[in-house]
Amino acid sequence: MLNSESLNYIYYVIGQISTPVFFIALIAGWKSVNTRSLLLILLVVEAIDTLVSNIALSWRYNFYLWVFFYSLIYIYVVFARRLIAIKLSPHFKFFDEVRKNYYFSKQEGGLIFVYACASLFLFINLIEIKLYQYGVLGSLFIVEQLFSPALTLLYLVEALLLLRLSIRTLPIDND
C-alpha cells in the first residue's frame, strides 16, 4: 500500500508534468498555427507562474489567493487567444497568421472546463483557508485531504487534452 510520503511524491511529480507536456505537445502540433500559438502563450503563462510561485509560497495563507487568481489567467488565455493575436498581429507576422486562421477546438473547450474546475476548487480552498486563518474552522479538511488528489487529476486531464490537441494535426499513415 502507498504511504503518505509516496502519495505526496506522486502528486508532486504529476504536478510537474505540465511544462514537459507543453513542450511535447508544441513539437507534435507545430504544423497547426492555432495549436502552436495556444501552446506558446500557455508556456509563457506557465513560466511566469513557475517564477512567481516560489515568491508566493512565502505569503503563507495568501499563497492560495495567488494560485486562485492565476488560475483565472489560464482561462483568459484560452478564451482570449484570438484577441491576443489581434493585438500582436501588427508587430509579429506569426500572430497575423494566427488571427487569419483562428478556430476554436473541442480540446480548447475541454481546457476551459478543466481550468474552470481548478479555479472553482482553488476558490473553495481559499475560503476554507481564510475561515481557518480567522479561527472559524478548526482544521483544513479540503486542503489536507482533497487538494493534492483533485489537482493531480486535473493536471492529468489537462495533459491529455493538450496532447490530444496537438496530435489531431498530425498526418496519419494508413499503410
Q: Following DSSP, what letter does each residue of 108-143 receive, concatenated?
A: HHHHHHHHHHHHHHHHHHHHHHHHHHTTS-S--HII
pLDDT of residue 171: 58
pLDDT of residue 75: 94
What are the tens digits of pLDDT across the range 110-132? 999 999 999 999 999 999 988 99
Question: Residue 136: what are its φ and ψ, rounded to 5°?
Answer: -75, -40
Query: 34 is written with which cell numbers?
Result: 492555432
pLDDT of residue 142: 84
Give the helix, strand, coil percentages of the chain, each rounded to 5: 80, 0, 20
pLDDT of residue 149: 84
Between CA 41 and CA 6 the distance in angstroms is 33
The model's pTM: 0.87
User: Which ranges of the chain have pLDDT less than 50?
Assistant: 173-175
